[in-house]
Structure 1
Amino acid sequence: MKAYLFPGQGSQFLGMGKNLYKKNNLAKKLFQLADEVLGFKITSIMFEGTKDLLKNTKYTQLAIYIYSVIKAKISNNFNPDMVAGHSLGEFSALAAIDVFSFEKGLILVNYRASIMQEICESVYGGMAVVFGLEDEIVEFFCKKDNGIVVPSNYNSPGQLVISGEYKALKRVCYSLEKIGGAKRILILPVHGAFHSPIMEPAKKKLKIFIKKMEFKKPKCSIYQNVTGKSVIKSSDIKKNIVNQITFPVKWKQSIKNMIKDGAISFTDIGPGNILLNIIKQILKNRI
């Protein structure tokens, strides 16, 4: 069975989509449609924008969504048996398997990015990757801290992202360094505490917004971040992408369940190959 994966923030790169625009007529049409629907030239930010501009949440999420969905739409080989998307990538996956249209997905992602950006600007939050420690150890120190800091991305064995108030995040990182055992702890270059309780106001707004949208039955099963399991029912998909804002991304659980359910090949359909590198670590720890 063929599985297709869609990345989230962090996979963007300068000039992303420019070659697709030049070489493929359908891609060009969809890029132009994106500018039209959004009411501003997201293509200019993607093709000629600066690194700082592109990493701004309200543009990053749109850029990755547009690039990923267009790659799926112009591919002659995109015929998945199952899909999964990492955080924002879940929205790209849903558009690619026609749960909603490219245009409606644009409006949805634009709204999601804007309400998350509002919180990023009002709350000093951050994220950090912890390499080489067992999940239970990291979870323990997050719970022990008096501030808001939680596990936010279970990427692969020995790679867990934590998210929360910046001061609390720094305290937990310091505690983990003090006990030893971690190969590396990396503070990520983001200003948001994604997939944490800090995003609760955005979650409430997104729930109201999504309630008005029609979600069609997907062409294949999607393994969603919140559960790590196969989902096919539209109402469940809606509920899960709302909860995703404050819940951790269960990525390694999703990949393990996809393999268990018959996945024998994985294709990263977005920018870069970050997800394939993570899968290599997951498979390495299964042997």
Structure 2
Amino acid sequence: MGKDLYTRYPQSAKQVFDEADEALGGNLVKLIFEGQQSKLKLTENAQPAILTTSIAILRVLEHELDFDVAKACTYALGHSLGEYTALVATKSISLTDAVKLVRLRGEAMTKAVADRQGQTAMSALVVRGDHLPELEYSMDEIRASLPPGELVELANINSTFQVVISGTSKGVDEASRILQRKGFAARAVDLPVSAPFHCSLMQEAANAMEEALKTVEIKKPIVDIVSNVTAKPYSNPEEIASLLVQQVTSTVEWNRSIDYCKKQDIDEFLCFGPGKVLANLLKKEYPLDKIRSITTADDIDGLYDELKLKIDNSVSRTQENSSK
């Protein structure tokens, strides 16, 4: 993950990896490129690794293709951990502060449920037809009906056809069964995660983030960032820390965040980071939009070739008109 960027772009991507590695006291780069996958997938490692790789891609776009976030983008947004990527991309938080924050975030999330001995779960549900509103309403009923000590909540609303639920193992199983029986969900897929993210079981982690964010300088983003919690742009820099704290236990309102952008006539999305999940969701929801995913150095080369072709064609047309 990201090694092609690291070796091919020493003046941009390598600097990002090295800065993040130094911020965390070393070993991050080695873990990403050479470490065991089981260790890399631990959330305290995965979060800074994904953030670092994402920003490395952005830095290459900026240095090699003259990409300018402020000029090119109307909004910036990121899914869960990706919101920190958006904050770094828009110069609201430094990369050094961000990787430290997400390392703490991952550690705190794991610690928050350490005493539950694996009795927690997350599950992705395929939503049937137009039943998302009914599914959301049913989740409130299911939550209220669970016995003491059991919990299930909506962790992510990723699209009109996909949600993720989170909580105790019994709570998640019960919700999956009921939602499928009612015909609101077609099937459920258990997710191999180390903690039940974005539910109230993460309150201890939210408390840890609240303290950590008090020590971080947060500036006004150079581009409006759409919050995971409100599905609207931050109104001022002062509310960013508060919403990042709320984000730990709240539903990731991704579908409504994208819907907000669509209502502002956005029809072009650039998705960067080590994976294509969000880009694929967008392509399925909005097949006529222009959605580009940048995950590797080859993707960047392809974008460079496309831009060069556009410039060459533009120059050719200009010369043709001049000759006339």
**TM-score in same-fold range (> 0.5):** yes
Quote the sequence identity (%): 32
Gaps of 5+ in 1: 1-15
Which residue is equivalent to 1:88?
81
Farther-moved stretch of structure 1 (261-270 vs 70-79) = 70-79
Q: Deviations over 1:26-49 (max 9, x none)?
A: 211221222211113111111122
Which residue is equivalent to 1:107?
100
Which residue is equivalent to 2:142?
141
Query: Do structure 1's residue 281 and structure 2's residue 266 form an aligned pair?
Result: no
Alpha-carbon distance in structure 2 between the residues aligned to 1:74 and 1:98 = 16
Alpha-carbon distance in structure 2 between the residues aligned to 1:268 and 1:122 = 37
Alpha-carbon distance in structure 2 between the residues aligned to 1:58 and 1:266 = 28
Aligned length: 271
1:232 shift after superposition? 4.3
1:21 shift after superposition? 0.7
Q: Deviations over 1:97-143 (max 9, x none)?
A: 11011111111111111111212433332111111242333523344
Q: Deviations over 1:200-235 (max 9, x none)?
A: 011111111112211001001001100011124111
CA contact (8 A) 1:126 1:164 kept: yes
From 222, 225, 245, the equivalent of 1:222 is 225
Q: Secondary structure at the match of 2:19?
A: helix
From 45, 49, 61, the equivalent of 1:63 is 49
1:71 shift after superposition? 1.2
Q: Secondary structure at the match of 2:77?
A: strand
Which amino acid in the other structure matches residue 67 of structure 1?
T
Alpha-carbon distance in structure 1 between the residues aligned to 2:24 and 2:110 = 17
Farther-moved stretch of structure 1 (221-230 vs 125-134) = 125-134
Note the aligned Cα RMSD (angstroms).
Answer: 1.9
Gaps of 5+ in 2: 290-324
Alpha-carbon distance in structure 1 between the residues aligned to 2:21 and 2:218 = 23
Which residue is equivalent to 2:301?
none
Which amino acid in the other structure matches residue 186 of structure 2?
K
TM-score under structure 2 normalisation?
0.79
Which amino acid in the other structure matches residue 77 of structure 2?
A
Q: Secondary structure at the match of 1:186?
A: strand
From 9, 14, 37, the equivalent of 1:28 is 14
Q: Deviations over 1:65-94 (max 9, x none)?
A: 101111112213242221010000000110
Farther-moved stretch of structure 1 (130-139 vs 110-119) = 130-139
Alpha-carbon distance in structure 2 between the residues aligned to 1:142 and 1:127 = 15
CA distance change for structure 1 residues 218 and 270 in 2, over 3 Å: closer, same or farther? same
TM-score under structure 1 normalisation?
0.89
